[in-house]
Structure 1
Amino acid sequence: MSEAYENRGSISGGERKIYLSLEDANALIPRIEPLVRRMVNLARDLQARYERLSAIPAARRERHPLYKDELANIEAGIQRDFERLKEWVEELASLGAITKSPVEGIIDFYSQYGGRDIFLCWRLGEPQIEFWHEIDAGFAGRRPVCELFESSAT
């Protein structure tokens, strides 16, 4: 796992898998951290606004024309911010950072180990990538990256 490379094959929707070494992914953290921080703040704000909007009964919305206009403006703002969030997720993906949770700031990076795909896993607030997991394991299956080097030394 020493150099970055890109597989130009399509995953879904024309996206590309970008494989990064641990060193390359760690070098990317300072570059993506400000964007991930903004993404987390916006995602949490969107979640809160959507929950408040969903708590208003539909019958109440439709009976009051004043609410109808105000709610339409709120919904339009949510949609605009959701589109911005999608753009940031796409920007991160173009660098090789896969957003797993915009609310929690969980980012995975494709890598390879032992001839198989794995994810290097980083969460906003962590100083560097300290964990990895199998592609299908998810955040709960995170394991220390030092395991990757210990098993290759034997």
Structure 2
Amino acid sequence: MSEKNANRGSISEGEGKIYLSLDEANALIPRIEPLVRRMVDLARDLQARYERLAALPAARRERHPLYKDEVADIEAGIQRDFAKLKDWVEELASLGAITKSPVEGIIDFYAQHDGREIFLCWRLGEPQIEFWHEVDAGFAGRRPVCELLESSTT
């Protein structure tokens, strides 16, 4: 366990991954929720700005100086905000929260169950972690965490 995580309960690291128990991951939700909300807002705004920029006809952007300056400003803003978004994703990762979709606010947490690696899955708006999925299954493969609890007791 790294020094950085030494005071965080039973968190363990492997191959640069932070593994959390369900309780530990749920305890992080109130801490990360405001950042995830800002991340979602910024990611959606970035997506909309990029789509508006892409919709401008290239000929119009390149020939008219007014468009050139405006496009340059928009592109600079997109780059600046993308860097901010990337910083937030890295901040979340340092806590053990892996951003799967900044636009939808989907966050996974590495966990281990019955000797295998899984993801505990949370989406902005959910009060706590209620789902998990296999590492290769993705959001569509989410299953209720009660399955994990049931299989642990049997």
Q: Same fold (TM over 0.5)?
A: yes
- Partner of 1:151 in structure 2? 151
Gaps of 5+ in 1: 10-15
- Partner of 2:47 in structure 1? 47
- Partner of 2:141 in structure 1? 141
- 1: CA distance, partners of 2:143 / 2:22: 14
- Partner of 2:4 in structure 1? none
- The one-letter code matched in structure 2 to 1:60 is R
| 2:13 aligned with 1:6 | yes
- Partner of 2:21 in structure 1? 21
Gaps of 5+ in 2: 1-8
SS of the residue 2:128 aligns to: coil
Q: What is the CA deviation profile of residues 58-108 of structure 1, one whole-angstrom value per residue up to 9, with x for unaligned ones?
A: 111011011101110010000000000000000000000000000000000
Q: CA RMSD in A?
A: 0.9
SS of the residue 1:76 aligns to: helix
SS of the residue 1:80 aligns to: helix
Q: What is the CA deviation profile of residues 15-39 of structure 1, one whole-angstrom value per residue up to 9, with x for unaligned ones?
A: x200000000000000000000000
Q: What is the CA deviation profile of residues 93-142 of structure 1, one whole-angstrom value per residue up to 9, with x for unaligned ones?
A: 00000000000000000000010000000000000000000000000000
- 2: CA distance, partners of 1:4 / 1:144: 22
What TM-score do you get using the length of structure 1 for normalisation?
A: 0.93
- Partner of 2:3 in structure 1? none
Q: CA deviation at 1:3?
A: 2.6
SS of the residue 1:121 aligns to: strand
Identical pairs, percent: 84
What TM-score do you get using the length of structure 2 for normalisation?
A: 0.93
- 1: CA distance, partners of 2:127 / 2:10: 21
- 2: CA distance, partners of 1:80 / 1:113: 40
Q: Report how many residues are paired.
A: 146
- The one-letter code matched in structure 1 to 2:105 is G
- Partner of 2:6 in structure 1? none
- 2: CA distance, partners of 1:152 / 1:33: 28
- 1: CA distance, partners of 2:68 / 2:153: 65
SS of the residue 1:103 aligns to: coil
Structure 1's consecutive aligned runs of 4 or more residues displaced over 4 angstroms after TM superposition are none
- The one-letter code matched in structure 1 to 2:129 is I
